[in-house]
Structure 1
Amino acid sequence: MFFAEEEEKKNAEKKEGLGPKLLESRTILLAGQVDTELAEKVMAQLLVMDSISNDPIKMIISSNGGHVDSGMAIYDMMRFVKSDVLTIGAGWVVSIAVPIFLGAKKKHRYALPNTRFMIHQPLGGAGGPAADVRIAAQEIVKIRKKINEMIAEETGQTVEKITEDSDRDFWMNAKEALDYGLVAKVVTSMDEVK
């Protein structure tokens, strides 16, 4: 028990030590589930880095998606700041992480060779009175349309193709994502990210 607590404390200290280094290198690590807490952290980092200078900000994304509105808040903030944001897919970029990834201009979207991308319909769960379930279903349809339009605009694909592809989980490796228009370049070194 004591060993586990000590190990957790050491890991927390290591993570805290990374913060200043990532800030100095203008790098944001967006990893894991997208939720309100992660969105708040990422948006704050974008604003702080943008206030320091307008040099590019690198955002490394490895996420299985999450809360749509939190993801859209990150996307909007990426577009809001003056600094160019360069996205680098690492591991997986799934669900709402794809629109976040697309928050960078096309020429600034990179992926590591083994990154996998996945688009699909937004997921939702609703309960309660039938009227509330109907309202929730209508909102999911609106969100799906909005996200499909965003992906189409950023990739050059038609909305119809995005709608068809995202009807079920649609997986792409880095090369396929490049061909699809999600990614500008597959990279193996940070030196290739410009």
Structure 2
Amino acid sequence: MQSLIPMVIESTGRGERAYDIYSLLLRERIIFLGTPINDQVSNLIVAQLLYLDQQDHDREISLYINSPGGEIYPGLAIYDTMQIIQAPVSTIAVGWTASLGTLMLAAGTRGLRYALPNATIHMHPAGGGAQGYAPDVEIAAKELLRMQSRLHEILARHTGQSKEQIARDFQRDRFMSADEAVQYGLIDQVLAMNDKKMKLLADIPPKPMEEKAE
């Protein structure tokens, strides 16, 4: 099933023009990563980061992440680009971030790494499905271990945890709430709910419990 991309119609002096929602977000320096990470997705995110950095080195770029992770090499291409550009990159976890999605989240500019209150942050060991001739499987296994070690080094750098602690903590699947991610050093702050909406909810009286018929 082909994914649906909302279109927005804007009226100008030259008539109406249709924009896809991602182009409008990009105009506001917002990038949305909402899919698994592969070569195509990585190239799109890298291109957007480079474009926005070229437009203004000083203005913040916001990267919203709702991604289960994906392929290591494309993910590291995004990570490296985030680190080499001059513009600060704010990262925001929406829904859930997993694996390389969590790496992207932690890689934001220090002080600008956020999560929504009900976001889930997940990490697990690097995985691979090498098969074929034994020597090739061995080569692939060594490369996987090299990549896993590199991911641990990166997470250690951005969280303040030791590489050894990262390796121990992520030997198996690990899920964190937004508050737990702050304590671990993956993010800096949990974004607060809208005060006006929370007040409206608080003003709604609770419904009385219905009595069950005997």
Deviates more, 1:180-189 or 1:13-22: 13-22
Does the alignment pair 1:78 with 2:71? Answer: no
Matching residue of 1:14: 7
CA contact (8 A) 1:72 1:99 kept: no
Measure, in 1, the Cα distance between the counterparts of 2:147 and 2:22: 34
Matching residue of 2:49: 46
Cα distance change on mapping 1:76 and 1:25 into 2, 3 Å: same
What is the aligned counterpart of 2:120 among 107, 116, 119? 116
TM-score, normalising length: structure 1: 0.88
Q: How much is the aligned-residue C-alpha RMSD, in angstroms?
A: 1.9
Does the alignment pair 1:152 with 2:156? Answer: yes
Cα distance change on mapping 1:189 and 1:87 into 2, 3 Å: farther
Once the two structures are TM-superposed, the CA of residue 13 in structure 1 deviates from its matched residue by 5.3
Measure, in 2, the Cα distance between the counterparts of 1:20 and 1:53: 17
Percent of matched pairs sharing the same residue: 34
Once the two structures are TM-superposed, the CA of residue 47 in structure 1 deviates from its matched residue by 1.1
CA contact (8 A) 1:43 1:77 kept: yes
Structure 1 or 2: more helix by fraction: 1
Secondary structure of 1:127 counterpart: coil
Once the two structures are TM-superposed, the CA of residue 189 in structure 1 deviates from its matched residue by 6.1
Once the two structures are TM-superposed, the CA of residue 106 in structure 1 deviates from its matched residue by 2.2
Matching residue of 2:144: 140
Secondary structure of 1:107 counterpart: coil
Specify every segment of 5 or more residues in structure 1 that has no aligned partner in the other structure, as ranges.
Answer: none
Specify every segment of 5 or more residues in structure 2 that has no aligned partner in the other structure, as ranges.
Answer: 9-18, 195-214
TM-score, normalising length: structure 2: 0.80
Matching residue of 1:59: 63
Matching residue of 1:103: 107
Does the alignment pair 1:33 with 2:42? Answer: no
CA contact (8 A) 1:78 1:104 kept: yes
Instruction: Report how many residues are paired.
Output: 183
Amino acid aligned to 2:133: P
Secondary structure of 1:106 counterpart: coil
Measure, in 2, the Cα distance between the counterparts of 1:40 and 1:99: 17
Q: Which has the larger radius of gyration?
A: 2
CA contact (8 A) 1:76 1:103 kept: no
Identify which of structures 1 and 2 has the higher relative contact order when contacts are C-alpha pairs closer than 8 Å and 6+ apart. Answer: 1
